Amino acid sequence: MSILIQNGRIIDPVTGLDEKSDILIEGDTIRKVAPNLPVPEQAEIIDAQNCIVTAGLMDMHVHLREPGYEAQEDIESGSLAAAHGGFTAVACMANTNPVVDNAAVVRAILLRAAEAGHCRVYPIGSITKGLEGKELAEIGDMVEAGIKAVSDDGKPVKDSSVMRNGLLYAKALGIPVISHCEDSDLSTGGSMNEGYYSTALGLRGIPAAAEEIMVARDCILAEATGAKLHIAHVSTAGSVRIIREAKARGVCVTCEAAPHHFSLTDENLVGYDTNLKVNPPLRSKSDVEAVIEGLQDGTIDVIASDHAPHTREAKEVEFDYAPFGISGIETELALVVTNLIQPGYLDWMQALKKLSVAPAEILGIPLSGIREGSRADLTVLDPNLERKVDVNLFKSKGKNSPFNGRVLKGWATATIYGGKLTAGKAWNKQHKS
Ligand code: DOR
Ligand code: ZN
């Protein structure tokens, strides 16, 4: 079966191409990229008029919850949600049960993901056994089994000596360490950002310093070891500044921001909606401004959702007792378009780079982009499509979105993974001469 994508504006951050063209896909391969291609017999047609066609998007920070927490999400539902969000690849975190700390779990995830077939799934192994922060996990074995990075995400690696050893091992194995930066002595018991609103709402705060201390520590360890460090979910102005300075000194550090951290502030918590409870927490207006500045000047390399699905029952409790996390992969692209591109903070090429090329580079995954002979992993998006977020339409089991009911602009209309339509519609047209 072939697919013809007609009349789209191709914006490909891999090749730098920005032009109007058709794309013909045969099997799993891009066969032709040229305007006004003839319609082959039995082709499926995607009308991309007024749409953007780009290299398949990658989200390097999601929680798929399998094995162990399948009531929240599983690989089938999470990877289908990714496809519906416009993604052809995700990297999934290790805080499952059992933890991804050995090769057997890595292989099981890869197998389940291949069976599901909705997108590429790159497992991330843990840094420490059982995420306990004490003994290193079987990192070498896991690299052989296919992990692209290690991370104890969800928990910090508190012991600096363990973190340093993790960095040294990862360096020897050629993979990055993704750090969840949180000083747990400062954050424990907190459920939102420490500041005016935590005082007003009577909730225990998590200070910006809890994040920044660990960002600084890990930049120092990355500099000392020469290892590749990637900081997850940067949320404060101080973190952005520390990373900017470290980069300027030549430290091998990259980082990401999540859509909720450039779209919402701690002021939004006045209704005590537990869907806004996330770690790191939603910060102040000046932090959001700094995150946007970091995205603009390249300090923040990547946009990643930190997709963290939870059950309704778990979230329907008092704020203090609710788990941290936002189900984010199906609103990610629309939040980028609505809150970064529409206001003019980022242009398309910049934004799409942070959603494909940059995470791929960090994880060491080669991308060949939109050219003849490349693998057909593509995302078609309509920048003007307005749609109200409805969590009941999510493919994710996690309905915990604070954006439910909001109208956002700019959605994926078709996702093609290995030449297969994994989300969106195409229509069949017999060739008319
Ligand atoms: O909000 C969060 N949820 N932050 C994390 O670091 C972990 C994640 C989860 O696993 O639910
Ligand atoms: Zn996470």
306 is annotated as an active-site residue:
yes
Topology (CATH) of 56-363 = TIM Barrel (3.20.20)
Q: Which atom of ligand 1 is nearest to the CA of 63?
A: 10
65 Cα to the center of ligand 2, angstroms = 11
Q: Is the pLDDT of residue 4 over 70?
A: yes
Q: What is the pLDDT of residue 432?
A: 43
Ligand 1 pocket check: which of 62, 63, 69 to mutate, most ligand atoms within 8 Å of Cβ? 63
pLDDT digits (tens, 9 = 90+) for 343-360: 999 999 999 999 999 999
Residues of the chain with CATH 2.30.40.10: 2-53+372-430
Kindly state the DSSP code that residue 418 receives in the 8-state scheme. T
| Contact predicate 206/281, CB 8 Å | yes
Largest separation between any pair of C-alpha atoms in the chain:
71
pLDDT digits (tens, 9 = 90+) for 234-273: 999 999 999 999 999 999 999 999 999 999 999 999 999 9
Topology (CATH) of 2-53+372-430 = Urease, subunit C; domain 1 (2.30.40)
Q: Rounded distance, CA 207 to CA 237, Å?
A: 12
Summarize the confidence of residues 106-129 as an average pLDDT: 98
Q: Is the CB of 152 under 6 A from ligand 1?
A: no
Name residues whose C-beta falls within 8 Å of residue 85's C-beta, 6 or more positions apart in sequence.
57, 59, 305, 329, 330, 331, 332, 333, 412
pLDDT digits (tens, 9 = 90+) for 174-213: 999 999 999 999 999 999 999 999 999 999 999 999 999 9
Ligand sitting nearest the alpha carbon of 61 = 2
Structure tokens at 182: 């949180």
Helix 285-297 vs helix 237-248: crossing angle, to nearest 10? 30
Residues of the chain with CATH 3.20.20.140: 56-363
| Contact predicate 63/308, CB 8 Å | yes
Considering 12, 101, 183, 306, which one is annotated as catalytic?
306
Q: What is the pLDDT of residue 1?
A: 78
Q: Work out the mean pLDDT of the chain and round it to a whole number.
A: 97
Q: Is the pLDDT of residue 431 over 60?
A: no
| Contact predicate 238/208, CB 8 Å | yes
Q: What is the pLDDT of residue 429?
A: 61
Q: Is the pLDDT of residue 428 over 80?
A: no
| Contact predicate 339/410, CB 8 Å | no
Ligand 1 pocket check: which of 66, 279, 319, 397 to mutate, most ligand atoms within 8 Å of Cβ? 279
Q: Which atom of ligand 1 is nearest to the CA of 308?
A: 11
Q: Is the CB of 261 under 6 A from ligand 1?
A: no
The pLDDT-based confidence of 433 (bands split at 50, 70, 90) is: very low
- What is the value of pTM for the model shown? 0.98
pLDDT digits (tens, 9 = 90+) for 42-77: 899 999 999 999 999 999 999 999 999 999 999 999
